[in-house]
Structure 1
């Protein structure tokens, strides 16, 4: 009897598949377009890929089970797509549309969303005035950015200057 796994398809159905998987199915599983699940459809916590290599990947230093480790630089694009989907939470189609080099250039971990305090600190670090600053400060900022001359900037409203600076 052949070894089997269960896979959740794009439509949400659970499918029992014999190993070894056909190459197109294995690529879709690698890319994150399909997900390995338990027979009852619950999330599978082991390696998503049923191979001897997958077991070795789980033992790599720094790998957290359930999270795809960063592929080797010479890995196939499908492995990079799967990594981007698992680690960065990207849509499989979006990751597939990227070049392999764009995927390789992604950081090891996704960046945390900026908090309002982070945005304000970043704005202050580049000399950007606060939203409630005088119009004259916004004129100076837009001129420093090279977006408008001082004479032209004076003809805009403060709201327009904030928009131009964005």
Structure 2
């Protein structure tokens, strides 16, 4: 039986998702377009490595994929759509990184 997590979508609804996540959903979690939550919609607190992308805690390396930089920018307060529409170079310039 697959493990189920809950994800708040762009429209605000909470949706159950079985692991492993489809690549497109995992990518949207990485970018911060979706947020993992508890079943009741309260913020999820990371407890263990369960294979679900967690919000970044430090800037990605400069050679990291753009999706990682979008997620970092969103975690820093950027609008998800603005971050997605920016170039990777712009995200690195705006949100820094030691990598």
* Cα distance in 2 between the residues matched to 1:38 and 1:11: 17
1:83-135 residue CA offsets vs partner (Å, 9 max, x unmatched): 00011x111010011100111122459xxxxxxxxxxxxxxxxxxxxxxxxxx
- Name stretches of at least 5 consecutive residues in structure 1 with no aligned partner: 55-65, 110-166
Matches within 5 A, 1:74-89: 74-87=63-76, 89=77
Greater per-residue helix proportion: 1
Matches within 5 A, 1:83-162: 83-87=72-76, 89-108=77-96
Larger radius of gyration: 1
Report which structure shows greater RCO (CA 8 Å, sep ≥6).
2
**Consecutive aligned runs of 4 or more in structure 1 exceeding 6 Å deviation:** none
Normalising by structure 1, we get a TM-score of 0.52
- Name stretches of at least 5 consecutive residues in structure 2 with no aligned partner: none
1:54-93 residue CA offsets vs partner (Å, 9 max, x unmatched): 5xxxxxxxxxxx7632112221111100100011x11101
The Cα RMSD (Å) is 2.4
Structure 1 residue 51 displacement after superposition: 2.1
**2:46 aligned partner:** 46
1:70 to 59, 78, 93: 59
Aligned to 1:105, the other structure's residue is in SS state helix
